[in-house]
Structure 1
């Protein structure tokens, strides 16, 4: 980003007051050494850039800051070879998470949060030490926010929360760390949401503690487990995550865990989708989709694998039961490997799926397609394909259509944007599908005479 020093650009007092009033970092950032901000936000201190009074080290700016201040770090002096300790209630903001780099140079923690109510945003945090007292980012405080960072290539764990509570870890890429991606150690009431956690040497997430929420993360290709419950994990919520392709072990491995809820996760291409031990009990699993794991589940303890009727249980790609009543729930239970547990109400389709219908209405010159969502879930990224076989045609033989999402019960009509002309016996396949709907195909046979189509039943 291009920098414009405050002095030398002759910015007027009115512009300064505008920035003060809004409390926003402008899209074209000023290289200001220290700039007074609204009282509620404190002062702004700048690191890097070319403004007069700007700091050259992040730690120096933190040391001079007070509670409520913001330290903004430009990327033009990156990488910053530092091991940072944040012991004040401040915001630490990087200009761009791809290019504002804090490099621990192979020693200790790269960033250590020791005060409550710290926010860190917009950094690439790399190259911690390995072993004890090492890692990309350690949190030993409460009510912190770690958002929009890249935390990668550290010698140990990427993010380590020790006894911390009410911290939010959101929208980060946590990759290629030599320990776990994230470790919660006796930590409670934390939220991990919308992170990409991949290719870490240990687990994607390793946790002990209570009342944590792990929601909408992509957890893939970690060396051992996607999520590991390693000690006294209770009343945690694991929901809407994609957990796939762990290299050695399992999607979710529960060594010690009670009263946890696992809801609406996609778990596929792991050794075991989920594995439990005798130290687990009273966990609840429902509305999860299990695809193509070497073993879908092994449960040797007493856990619940459905949510009753009509809510249903889980989807199992190897379930071969029937659904005579056509209520979307299998007529026979799915047996859980390892013990006597069953999913009494296995789902016939992956949870979150819906059903589409399509109808082609031939006309003169033009054809009309009607697509309807007959399910109970919004259809995402709806697409259609009409193929024409046989005859002699003076038009294309494949017509692809992409429509907007369809709400439950919604129907749309599309006039195909081509001119039908030709003659002969024609076979039409008219198909529709969506990201969360299986393909539905209508077949129509008939005769095309120039631009008239005669439907043959």
Structure 2
């Protein structure tokens, strides 16, 4: 291709300046400036500036001194293996029209030296690498288009110990970056678009330490069925990779997103979504991957390879690794900046590489996965969320899912809303912060109506804060104090103070009115049942009638019951969430010991007598067919005896003897209620329960067998009776 039109000269420093404004810096130093014109037409006319002129790039490279600059005018150059042996910059006039066609040969550029700069080209029609860095350091590859046009190996390849390389503002198609053959350390890969176009290549693979990978779009690495082989980002295991920072990237549409080996890596503030097999694979030591968006507001799906079940089902991209090898909570959950698009969108400018996060983001905290520790050494999920919010611009929302949290002392240093999640039950009673809370910024909200906390540590507003812009509301502040060291009046109204006088639980200039004499959950429950009432009216009504000051709510009473049996507070919260406070209290009141209480909540486990086979004498492994989507356990002829034989075990796996059990058989009739045909007790003999069902006189069809126990536990099976 030949570019038509009047030629003009670019002064070298102008082009370098343009590259600088795009975020790229080329190697600098004393230079000899030369020009390259691909066409010989009017060649003398173009060389009247006193600088040397050449008709091909290789001749110019051979002639220029170290640290020189070669300015290549927009045209198509049929060159390949452009060999560079001195530090210099090769600068194309315009990456869209300054084209290097390698003619189906191996490489575009080939370098064995330090401090080269390549910018402003489209490199195409190569078989191996557009830029092959065989040795050296401190090179910069920026502002290029790299598209081989047919299968090739990589856009940029590094051998040996090529280090301190910057790759920025490039567009790569079908090929990516390979820097893994040797210890290629200290690479910065930023602001690139890398579309592998479903080829069998990585987007970025490196084998060294200290990589910064940020603000890149990396997509379509690998192809269907290629899971585990090619990733958007991969650390090469034989290069001793360590200390990679992967942040603000958009990683999507790949077979695998990120595969990490080595140590001391961090993956944060990325948008990782719609990767077919996994968003992140961790192969050895632990990695921090908190504060990422995983394609779903509820976070990633976590599948530890050494456990039998999915460990957390958030709905987003999958995290794969050995148990507790990845720190993933908290995560970014929104907001959705483009609700008209399918799925949640958090990138505010898709025309730029990487993820451009909204000014204000939603960060979700859940007590799942290993507990992270912030850079200040504060352990805990809430601490990590506060640290993450402090790094971002704007006022973020930190939503804390129900649970028991022991670390929230990381100082809040910018505006934020910190609230508990929305749930059917009162979230303040189910979301406990057993920690100090330090508010070091104006415009902070801690708790709000329907989204409060139970807090046991001090809540402190720092000296430099305008406390009149801080609000602490709708919480149960049980033990700690609220301390205002800032200026202005601190709003701490609409809180329950654990039965204490609010004046004795505060320090500094704090407004506590209105305050509650009962828990905020009791207030909210009253308001839900009396929608025209106000909070103070609810407080007065509860004090006067239903709940005296300081009286325990059902959840508080359940916690005390569980504590009496040695259940730790964090585990007690899980019990209450799983089974409900009212059920737990009723179980304690109707049973004599902890084991009986647990059995009444969880029921007994059923199993076949002898520990093998099924609970029916003709039961077939895998079933004997199906009935309306349910498995048919066994098939009998009319007149055959259905022998039911089972044992029971409690929550500790011990056998249960002498339980009252009843076996019921009902005929299943299309469009009609079930018709009971048999009802008889099961006999207990030699640690098993038995009942024989005579099918003489049964109509052919399907029957449901129920086994009901006196404590409410039940089991059921479907059988077929044939005529």
TM-score normalised to the size of structure 2?
Answer: 0.39
**Rounded Cα–Cα distance in structure 2 between residues aligned with 1:87 and 1:204:** 28
**CA–CA separation in structure 2 for the residues paired with 1:2 and 1:220:** 39
Q: Does 1:43 align with 2:43?
A: no
Residue of structure 2 in register with 1:156 after alignment: 153
**How far off its partner does 1:54 sit?**
2.5
What is the match of residue 142 of structure 1?
137
From 353, 362, 368, the equivalent of 1:333 is 368
For residues 332 and 35 of structure 2, what CA distance do their matches in structure 1 show?
52
1:305 positional shift: 0.7
CA contact (8 A) 1:41 1:70 kept: no
How many Å separate the matches in 1 of 2:270 and 2:236?
A: 20
Shift of 1:303: 2.9
1:2 Cα deviation after fit: 3.8
CA–CA separation in structure 1 for the residues paired with 2:332 and 2:393: 11
Q: Is residue 233 of structure 1 aligned with residue 245 of structure 2? A: no
Compare CA radii of gyration and give the structure with the larger one.
2
TM-aligned CA distance change 1:295 to 1:24, over 3 Å: closer
Residue deviations 1:329-364, cap 9 Å, x none? 43532589xxxxxx955979x97696699xxxxxxx
Aligned to 1:283: 287
Matching of residue 193 in structure 1 with residue 190 in structure 2:
yes
Greater relative CO (CA pairs within 8 A, separation 6+):
1
Contact kept, 8 Å, 1:316 with 1:347, in 2: the verdict is no
**In structure 2, what is the equivalent of residue 167 of structure 1?**
165
* Cα distance in 1 between the residues matched to 2:29 and 2:265: 39
DSSP-derived class of the 1:199 partner? strand
2:54 counterpart SS class: coil
Equivalent-residue separation in structure 1 for 2:62 and 2:113 (angstroms)? 13
How far apart are residue 273 of structure 1 and its match? 0.9
Note the alpha carbon deviations across 1:202-223, whole angstroms, 9 max, x for none. Answer: 1111121111111111111222
Q: Distance in 2 between matches of 1:295 and 1:157?
A: 27
1:157 to 1:74, Cα distance in 2 relative to 1, 3 A? same
Matched with 2:217 is 218
Report if aligned partners of 2:282, 2:326 keep a CA contact under 8 Å in 1.
Answer: no
- What SS does the aligned partner of 1:61 have? helix
SS of residue in 1 equivalent to 2:208: strand
Structure 1 residue aligned with 2:174:
176
| Equivalent residue in structure 1 for 2:263, among 222, 235, 258 | 258
CA distance in 1, matches of 2:381, 2:9: 67
Inter-partner Cα distance in structure 1 for 2:265 and 2:124:
33
Decide which structure has greater helix share.
Answer: 2
Q: Deviations over 1:388-421 (max 9, x none)?
A: xxxxxxxxxxxxxxxxxxxx96xxxxxxxxxxxx
Q: Deviation per CA, 1:45-93: give whole Å up to 9, x if none.
A: 11116423621110001001110211111113x1333220111111100
Q: What are the ranges of 5 or more consecutive residues in structure 1 without an aligned counterpart?
A: 7-18, 28-38, 307-311, 319-326, 337-342, 358-373, 378-407, 410-457
Q: Which has the higher strand share?
A: 1
TM-score calculated relative to the size of structure 1: 0.59
Q: How does 1:33-112 map to 2 (within 5 A)?
A: 40-48=29-37, 50=43, 51-52=46-47, 54-76=53-75, 78-112=76-110
Query: Deviation per CA, 1:123-176, whole angstroms, max 9, x where unpaired?
Result: 1111222xxxx3111112200011101111262111112221111001111112
Instruction: Indicate the larger mover: 289-298 or 188-197.
Output: 289-298
TM-superposed deviation, 1:105: 1.3
Contact 1:109 1:138 in 2 (8 A): yes
How much does 1:106 deviate? 1.4
Conserved 8 A contact 2:155-2:172: yes
Output the CA distance in 1 between the equivalents of 2:112 and 2:82: 10
Instruction: Summarize the Cα distance change of 1:5–1:98 in structure 2 as closer, same or farther, 3 Å threshold.
Output: closer
Contact 1:287-1:313 at 8 Å conserved across structures: yes
**SS of alignment partner, residue 128 of structure 1:** strand
Give me the CA root mean square deviation: 3.7
Aligned pairs, number: 308
Equivalent-residue separation in structure 2 for 1:334 and 1:302 (angstroms): 6
Partner Cα distance (2:396, 2:141) in 1: 41
**Aligned pairs for 1:9-20 within 5 A:** none
The answer to whether the Cα contact below 8 Å between 1:276 and 1:301 also exists between their aligned partners in 2 is no
- In structure 2, what is the Cα distance between the partners aligned to 1:266 and 1:353? 17
C-alpha contact (below 8 Å) 1:197/1:220 kept by paired residues: yes
